[in-house]
A and B are shown apart, each in its own frame.
Chain A
Amino acid sequence: MSVAHDHDHGAHDAHHHEMSFIEKYIFPTDHKYIGKQYMFTGMFMALFGGFYAYVFRMQLAFPNMSVPFFGRVSPMEYNAAITQHGTVMIFWVAMPVLIAAFGNFLIPLLIGADDMAFPRLNRLSYQIFLVSAVVLIASWFVPGGAFGGAWTAYPPLSADARYSLTPMGSSMWLIAVALEFAAFLLGGINFIVTAMNGRAPGMKWNDVPMIVWMICIASILFMASVGPLVAGAIMLLFDQNLGTNFFDPRRGGDPILWQHLFWFFGHPEVYVVLLPATGMCAEVIPVFARKKLFAYDTVLYTTIGTGVLSFFVWAHHQFVAGIDPRMANVFTITTVLISIPIAEMVFLYIATLYGGSIRYTVPMLWALGFIFAFLIGGVTGIYLGASGADIYFHDTYFVVAHFHYTFFPIAFIGTFTGFTYWFPKMFGRMMNETLGKIHFFGTMISFNFIFLPLFATGLGGDHRRIYNYNNFPELATPDLQNLRILATVALLVLIAFQFIFIYNTFYSMFFGPISGTNPWKATTLEWTTPENPPGHGNWPPDNMPTVYRGPYEYSVPGREDDFWPQNQQS
């Protein structure tokens, strides 16, 4: 097409173009810097998300004490803390880190391209995202306080300031979320188009590394599911500020409509963040088992199957919201069905391990930890997916423990998998292995001690949305309270271990041993760049890689090396 060469001042000149500091670090169009911007913004927001978790866990374990660094937690502040914790962790940590940061950093490198298809659109996407984060943080300090209607923002509570008592906070929260959606829609279009069109010569569909597939399928799921919620956000904003009556039953609206619009997005969203995390396992496990990914095609089809099914499960969040019981039956069936492709994927990863020469490096430990922890999350989901059981479990800590066994592995274990694996490519240095292992075991053990007790308190009757259990005599028993204290102490331990990670990251970034371009002896294209970390354009423009084989050719019989890079002709 005419698109191809109608600019004589194309990539060749720009490759040699020296960039100023501002061009390089403040307003970069280089996908690697935008990826890092997303990464560090996401990690910075994780500090807030973690702090809020600390605040409300302290209140639950030690009611009405003055929480260090915060003070006494009022009921309004408690609600705001749980709301902002959920919002931040999902929209400003999991999404930017897993999709945007890794998507930006990895997609061009793994498909052998010099950048995203639309670098300036990419920059715009990050800038909108940054504005959304600023709006969200600003909403914590406005008169009336931060929005406290939970991350699901159910009306009527969210629809009217007379109920939510946060006239500015709730609208700013909604605007921040809507901006964030816009940023990821732009980013998602860029990812999909780049992966579809920008692949290196010779790279067929089944030569594309699994993580690229996963991020693109996740972007498609996001794009196809978020639309109704964008519309719903506009409607809710009008309800809050114009006095329209979409959702407030007092004015003739329908609060269940919001729940449908929200969960039609909200459930695929789980898979939007899950897929990149499983994709990282698919990259890491073959490298450290020195073995081909078991059944590439089947992994891909289960991913697509999961994606399609994820659009038909949303009402399992609404079993007790007054929906038709016949509809509940349908959604029970689809919800239990979706565990099949996910279970299959887990089996395929375990099959990849079988007979491999496994190396327990830090990324490999995280990948195995992901499978273990997510398995618990998935299995407990089957209890909740059955509408009969869910009527009893709904809104208890059993649900909280369940989805943290899915989201914590996704957002943190998955991120640590990818971050420790691609760290040498991002910064050109190795992380400290010992500190990495201490961080891994500390995090995994304390994480389980947070959420295993919550399964028990949930079964014991702990309702999720309670500020102080002392007000409920049948729940204020020492047995339950001890479990709550155990969970909170485990959270403190978990937070303490993250400082090791932060130290390791920043120390290794500057003082770690130089890694070389392919420290893990991996086959995919990002490990073939001449410079490490790759320079602008990743490869010399006149020497872009060509692909000759699939991404997981390890231990091929008859070859001297146990890995066979995708770009090596023979």
Chain B
Amino acid sequence: MAAFRPIANTRSATGIPTAKLAVWWLLVSEIVIFGGVLASYLMHRLGHPEWANYAVHTQTAIGATNTLVLLSSSLTAVLAHQAAQTGDGKKAAKFLLATIAGACLFLCFKAYEWHGEIEEGFVPWTNGFWAFYYTAAGIHASHVIVGAIIMAFVAKDAYAGRDLHRVENVGLYWHFVDLVWIFLFPLLYIAK
């Protein structure tokens, strides 16, 4: 069945496009989810100075590389948005594919990193630090996966020239995922 679009969806009493408004509210709900994890982690980290001894074992180099990968993928997301604004759906789709590639690269690094850590015996139930490390990064990684899947759908439509406004919306989500990592990286890796 073709997508049915009610009149309510086509109105814009605030002047903000409806879909974009919804993505912003989605991000509001996501901010408090990650806010809850990070606030809990921060309180515990401050209360347990000895966690610095565990944080030593995180691999800052891989974390930094992943930061670079995610930031670059945000750049391609912006370029996709720019292409979509000029109406070039095919170009937008290509940039979205580049963003998906960034997401996959990020996940590969993450898998390699976790593999090494688990080999060394650092598992989620080792202690509080590792529990937060895996939970926070794991929730983030699940957002990376979901974002990549959604971008694949958006790219498919954009390639056919349909629903180009979605390129910007999925980009908003992707920047948010990126931003969360910007908080996770110093808190989990740099703070030793």
A22 close to B (CB within 8 Å): no
Please state if A3 and B19 are interface contacts (CB–CB under 8 Å).
yes
B111 at the interface (CB under 8 A from A): no
Whether the Cβ atoms of A238 and B124 lie closer than 8 Å is: yes
In the complex the two chains form, is B128's CB within 8 Å of A14's CB?
Answer: no
Q: Is A224 in contact with chain B by the CB < 8 A criterion?
A: yes
Q: Which one of A249-257, A286-294, A554-562 is at the B interface?
A: A249-257
> Min CB distance, A268 to chain B, in Å?
11
Q: Is the CB of B125 within 8 A of A243?
A: yes
Q: Which residue of B lies closest to A9 (CB)?
A: B2
Minimum C-beta distance from A213 to chain B (A): 14
Residue pairs across A and B with Cβ atoms less than 8 A apart, 14 shown, are A1-B165, A4-B10, A4-B12, A9-B2, A113-B6, A118-B22, A189-B22, A193-B21, A197-B14, A227-B36, A228-B35, A228-B36, A235-B40, A541-B7
| Residue in chain A with minimal CB distance to B164 | A2
Is B8 part of the contact surface with A, judged by Cβ < 8 Å? yes
Given A232-B36, A244-B124, is A223 in contact with B28 using a C-beta cutoff of 8 Å? yes
- Measured CB to CB, the residues of A under 8 A from B are 1-7, 9-11, 14, 29, 108, 113-120, 185, 188-190, 192-194, 196-199, 203, 223-232, 234-235, 238, 242-246, 252-254, 257, 261, 264, 537, 541, 544
Partner of B28, one of A224, A228, A243, A245: A224
B residues in contact with A11, CB < 8 Å:
4-7, 10
State which residues 39-62 of B face A: CB under 8 Å: 39-40, 43-44, 47
Q: How far is the CB of B40 from chain A (nearest CB, A)?
A: 6
Q: B9 — which chain A residues lie within 8 A by C-beta?
A: 3, 115, 117-118, 198
Contact with A along B8-32 (1 / 0, CB 8 A): 1111111011110110011011111
Chain A residue numbers with a CB within 8 Å of B11 are 113, 197-199
Kindly list chain A residues whose C-beta atoms are within 8 Å of the C-beta of B21: 193, 196-197
Contact B13 A117 (CB under 8 A): no
Distance, CA A2 to CA B36, complexed state (A): 37
Is B33 located at the chain interface by the 8 A CB criterion? yes
- Supplied contacts A113-B11, A189-B22, 15 more A-B pairs, CB within 8 Å: A9-B2, A11-B4, A11-B7, A113-B7, A114-B8, A116-B6, A185-B29, A190-B22, A197-B12, A223-B28, A231-B34, A235-B40, A244-B125, A254-B47, A261-B36
- Residue from the set B13, B14, B39, B132 with the largest chain A CB neighbour count within 10 Å: B13
Given the complex of chains A and B, what is the CA–CA distance between A233 and B124 in angstroms? 16
- Interface positions of B from 131 to 173, Cβ below 8 Å from A: 131-132, 135, 139, 163-165
Asked if B37 CB lies within 8 Å of chain A CBs, one says: yes
Q: Please state if A230 and B10 are interface contacts (CB–CB under 8 Å).
A: no
- In the complex, the answer to whether B135 meets A225 with C-beta atoms within 8 Å is no
B118 at interface, CB cutoff 8 A: no
Q: Are A228 and B33 CB-contacts (below 8 A) given A117-B18, A244-B124, A252-B127? A: yes
Which residue in A7, A119, A223 is a CB contact (below 8 Å) of B25? A223
Contact A198 B127 (CB under 8 A): no
CA of A188 to CA of B26, assembled, Å = 10
Residues of the B chain whose Cβ atoms lie less than 8 Å from the Cβ of A253: 128
Q: B165, A117: Cβ atoms under 8 Å?
A: no
A117 is contacted by which of B3, B4, B6, B163 (Cβ under 8 Å)?
Answer: B6
Closest A residue, CB atoms, query B16: A197
10 closest A-B pairs by CB = A228-B36, A227-B32, A198-B8, A113-B8, A115-B6, A231-B36, A227-B33, A244-B131, A243-B125, A231-B37
A115 touches B36 (CB 8 A): no
Neighbour of B131 across the interface among A14, A232, A245, CB < 8 A: A245
The reply to whether B40 and A231 contact each other, CB–CB distance below 8 Å, is yes
CA distance A533 to B17 in the complex (A): 31
Tell whether, in the assembled complex, residue A3 and residue B165 are in contact, meaning their CB atoms are under 8 Å apart. yes
- Do A193 and B7 have beta carbons less than 8 Å apart? no
The answer for the CA separation of A254 and B46 in the assembled complex, in Å, is 13
Given A11-B6, A244-B131, A246-B131, answer yes or no on A189-B25 (Cβ-Cβ < 8 Å).
yes
In the complex, which residues of chain B have a beta carbon less than 8 angstroms from the beta carbon of A541?
7
CB-based contact A245/B36 at 8 Å: no
Given the interface contacts A10-B5, A118-B22, A254-B44, does A231 sit within 8 Å of B139 by beta carbon?
A: yes
